[in-house]
Structure 1
Amino acid sequence: MRVIISGGGTGGHIYPALSLVKEIKKTNEHADLLYIGTENGLESKIVPREGIPFKTITISGFRRKLSVENVKTIYRFLKGVRDAKKMIKDFRPDVVVGTGGYVCGPVVYAAAKLNIPTIIHEQNSVPGLTNKFLSRYVDKVAISFSESTRYFPQEKVVYTGNPRATEVIDTDGERGRASVGLADGKKTVLIVGGSRGARPINEAFLEVLPEAKIRDYQFLYVTGDVHYDSVMNEVKKQGNPENVLIRPFIHNMPEVLAGVDLVVARAGATSLAEITALGIPSILIPSPYVTNNHQEKNAQALRKEGAAYVRLEQEMNGEKLMKDIDEILTTNGKWEEMHQSSQSLGMPRAAQDLYGLMKELSN
């Protein structure tokens, strides 16, 4: 099988693509792969490091308001389509898969126009402009949240879940805990705001650090590189509580996730796929700064099923955060109830299901 994959801009588009690549390689070691991204996107650093053949095109996103910049974007799109067509003709793929981001636009559109079987994968409950546009041309639309069905042609939609979910299932939680210095036998709360951190989450936790210090459970607090120094200065003033471990970033997050009992985080699609695959209860503080407010809608999908508490950023404070943590971890039956609900939403076979859809189209 020969496969072109395209996805870029953020980890939320790239990591599901890489999870799919791992599944393809595991199932078909002779598969030929090509990843098409952009030179300036995060994918240009991450994908080559994984040993995947990588090529680039130049593209930018449309502004939602009328803008001269959109004229340039149209030009870049048309050039991107021409460049992508050349790469596709040279590579001769059996199927082309787009996992989101601007770069998918010209790549997947070019493949569809060349009558190559095409799939887009949507990670969020509310799709972006690129996937909405591509849904008119592709053969199948794979989704991660049932709520996103209404944005696409019904006959093309297949509910697969997020491939990233498959990757966390086989991780070793004990090894993950040991890698960051967490003690065995203690309930563990992971507090994380993404790779760059989230100031409101940081501030809320710092506010109640004296309370956290006297709890029976332990905390792993991932600040993000940007906020680490300022957070550490504040923590030192409060005596570096022994049950609070602080890290700027976690490189083996799937392993660490498998070893915790509760997660406090944003509501990015990839994070939620990992959390539900492992059946972890969560307290979600969606970022209000994302397109179409999709994180809040992602989070509400978990809240509706009883798998998460959702707290909007403007209403979050330390007192509420600690009250929520205590309630989930100490109320009789609450953690187990949320664990079961979270697990019921997990799609641990997501990568296999998406790969199956690829094989079906390419035959």
Structure 2
Amino acid sequence: MSKRILFTGGGSAGHVTVNVALIPRFVASGWDVSYIGSIKGIESELISNVDHVDYHGISTGKLRRYMSVENFKDPFRIVKGVFEAYSLIRKIKPDVVFSKGGFVSVPVVIGAKLNNVPIIIHESDITPGLANKIALPLATKVCVTFPETLDHIKSDKATYVGAIIRDELRTGNATRGRSLLKFVDSKPIILVMGGSLGSKKINGTIRNNLPQLLKQYQVVHICGKGQIDPSIHLDGYQQFEYIQDELSDVIASADVVVTRAGSNSIFEFLALHKPMLLIPLSRAASRGDQILNAQSFQKAGYAEVLLEEELTDESFIQSLELLLYNRQQIVDNMTKHDQSSTIDQVIQLIQKAAKRK
């Protein structure tokens, strides 16, 4: 009889990409794979493109850190989600649950615990997110990406594994990427990514500076859903809401990357040796996790950092020039970082938990 694994996680692409990296390994090993996410969240869209996965949508609230009338409705949605997850898990009968976090994961983790199913949690950031903080007491094991995270989780459940990188990103071809973008070989390429939902401030800064940037560089701009500017038609500039199938080729073609500091993305760029200018989400818009991620990468010599509060047209150009000046040293630092065994280590932990059940 095949082993069964249930994945959960959602709310942003960062809460799905690790699952997308792991799922093909379990499918190839003959496991039955299911996924519980929200009904209309980004995870439902991303997982629909992954073969051999049974997707189930449940009701879920959002764990907000600010006042909203929705906060009074969300507890009822979460309770409904717990009942739905509990019933689904009784039906699916997974041997283990792997949770990447995000607000949708909380009902699933509770439902798994009520069904006595082992739970492996993955935390990408230096400090645990709210969903994972809630789930941690229920978990069998917590895998962390940064060694510093062990200082924030005072439990023998936590183990440092490093970052999980999608295999397909390593197969990118720079020539194919430039061909897709209609870019020439003679100018370096800047890849701009503001996260799956995009960043209006980063997008605006890039567009304000296009006349200057395009004198020396070509720019591929992944600007987020609904954030394309249809009025811009310039040689050497391509904009997309999102890139999926061709992303590995586009990244391979890039010389440097301007991006937020979400853990999954920056570790992928690290694995691919792409120097980064990190513009983390401000503390006003987040719990400050991206700032800590960015500071860790800057300290290791993998990136330059520009805080969003300090982002202007002038500071952006200065920081980009500094990144390009230090580019080779950053690449040299990146080549010394080894994270090749992470995914195998996580799979072993999942398999071990499943055998206990």
Measured against the shorter chain, the TM-score band is: 0.7 to 0.9
Q: Paired residue for 2:330?
A: 338
Shift of 1:213: 3.2
Deviations, residues 98-154 of structure 1 (Å, cap 9, x unaligned):
111122112122223333221011122222211011111111101122232233243
Deviations, residues 148-204 of structure 1 (Å, cap 9, x unaligned):
223324311122233345442233333223222222354221123234432322332
Residue 164 of structure 2 aligns with an amino acid whose one-letter code is P
Q: Paired residue for 2:199?
A: 198
Change (3 A) 1:248 1:78: closer
Q: Distance in 1 between matches of 2:26 and 2:349?
A: 12
- Structure having greater relative contact order (Cα 8 Å, sep ≥ 6): 1
Q: SS where residue 135 of structure 1 aligns? A: helix
Q: Distance in 2 between matches of 1:69 and 1:220?
A: 37
Q: How many residues align?
A: 350
Q: Is the 8 A contact 2:27 2:33 kept in 1?
A: no
Note the 1:54-93 alignment, pairs <5 A.
54-64=55-65, 72-93=73-94
Q: SS where residue 176 of structure 2 aligns? A: helix
Q: Paired residue for 1:18?
A: 20
Residue 38 (structure 2) pairs with residue 50 (structure 1): no
Shift of 1:58: 1.3
Q: Distance in 2 between matches of 1:139 and 1:244?
A: 48
Match of 2:345 among 322, 337, 353: 353
Residue 212 (structure 2) pairs with residue 220 (structure 1): no
Query: Which range is displaced more, 137-146 or 44-53?
Result: 44-53
Q: Distance in 2 between matches of 1:18 and 1:283?
A: 26
Residue 243 of structure 2 aligns with an amino acid whose one-letter code is I
Residue 159 of structure 2 aligns with an amino acid whose one-letter code is V
Residue 136 (structure 2) pairs with residue 135 (structure 1): yes
Note the 1:1-363 alignment, pairs <5 A.
1-26=3-28, 28=29, 30-51=30-51, 52-64=53-65, 72-184=73-185, 186-215=187-216, 217-229=217-229, 233=231, 235=232, 240=234, 242-251=235-244, 252-288=246-282, 290-329=285-324, 331=325, 334-345=326-337, 347-363=339-355
Deviations, residues 307-340 of structure 1 (Å, cap 9, x unaligned):
11111122122233223333333x3xx2221113
Q: Distance in 2 between matches of 1:77 and 1:204?
A: 38
Q: Distance in 2 between matches of 1:191 and 1:70?
A: 34
Deviations, residues 212-256 of structure 1 (Å, cap 9, x unaligned):
2332x4332333353322xx53x55xxx3x344444443322321
Query: Which range is displaced more, 61-70 or 304-313?
Result: 61-70
Deviations, residues 276-295 of structure 1 (Å, cap 9, x unaligned):
11121110111225431222
Q: What's the TM-score once normalised by structure 2's chain length?
A: 0.88
Q: Distance in 1 between matches of 2:272 and 2:266?
A: 10
Change (3 A) 1:254 1:161: farther
Shift of 1:41: 1.7
Q: Distance in 2 between matches of 1:200 and 1:283?
A: 15
Q: Distance in 2 between matches of 1:179 and 1:137?
A: 46
Q: Distance in 2 between matches of 1:140 and 1:168?
A: 27
Q: Is the 8 A contact 2:194 2:222 kept in 1?
A: yes
Task: Calculate percent identity across the aligned residue pairs.
Answer: 31
Gaps of 5+ in 2: none
Residue 39 of structure 1 aligns with an amino acid whose one-letter code is I
Q: SS where residue 6 of structure 2 aligns? A: strand
Q: Distance in 2 between matches of 1:243 and 1:326?
A: 18
Change (3 A) 1:198 1:75: closer
Change (3 A) 1:228 1:61: closer
Q: What's the TM-score once normalised by structure 1's chain length?
A: 0.86
Q: Distance in 2 between matches of 1:156 and 1:47?
A: 28
Q: Is the 8 A contact 2:304 2:323 kept in 1?
A: no
What's the RMSD between the two structures over aligned residues? Answer: 2.5
Change (3 A) 1:290 1:19: farther
